[in-house]
């Protein structure tokens, strides 16, 4: 949610792609688990609201946060793939 907010705030060309990708991932991950889907959706919304409360305009700090989140996400994806296979 945090990354989605920053991308929208900073008018990133990838903003819609990110939200679409996360929606597809969520649908696949929690297919028949409504309570789990609610928890994931709530976490996404918390991140979105938290960043909305902190960042009201696209600043250098907002862009730095976006870069950090993207790096952390890529690192996690790589670690999960290497540990559990693809």
Q: Which of 78, 69, 85 is nearest to 5 (CA)?
A: 69
- Interval 11-50: pLDDT, tens: 865 556 667 777 787 788 787 888 988 998 899 899 999 9
Q: Which of 73, 78, 50, 79 is nearest to 62 (CA)?
A: 50
Return the percentage of the chain with pLDDT > 70, whole number.
Answer: 91
Return the percentage of the chain with pLDDT > 90, whole number.
Answer: 27
User: Model-level pTM?
Assistant: 0.72
Neighbours of 85 (CB within 10 A): 6
Which parts of 13-59 fold into alpha helices (H)? 15-29, 34-54
Residue 30 has what DSSP assignment? T
In the prediction, which pLDDT does 16 show? 61
Cα dihedral sign, 63-45-55-72: negative
Average pLDDT taken over every residue of the chain: 84
């Amino acid at each position: 949610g945090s990354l989605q907010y920053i991308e929208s705030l900073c008018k990133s060309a990838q903003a819609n792609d990110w939200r679409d990708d996360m929606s597809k991932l969520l649908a696949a991950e929690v297919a028949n688990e409504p309570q789990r889907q609610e928890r994931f959706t709530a976490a996404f919304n918390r991140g979105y609201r938290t960043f909305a409360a902190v960042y009201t305009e696209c600043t250098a700090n907002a862009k730095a946060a976006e870069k950090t989140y993207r790096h952390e996400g890529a690192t996690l994806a790589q670690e999960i793939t290497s540990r559990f296979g693809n």
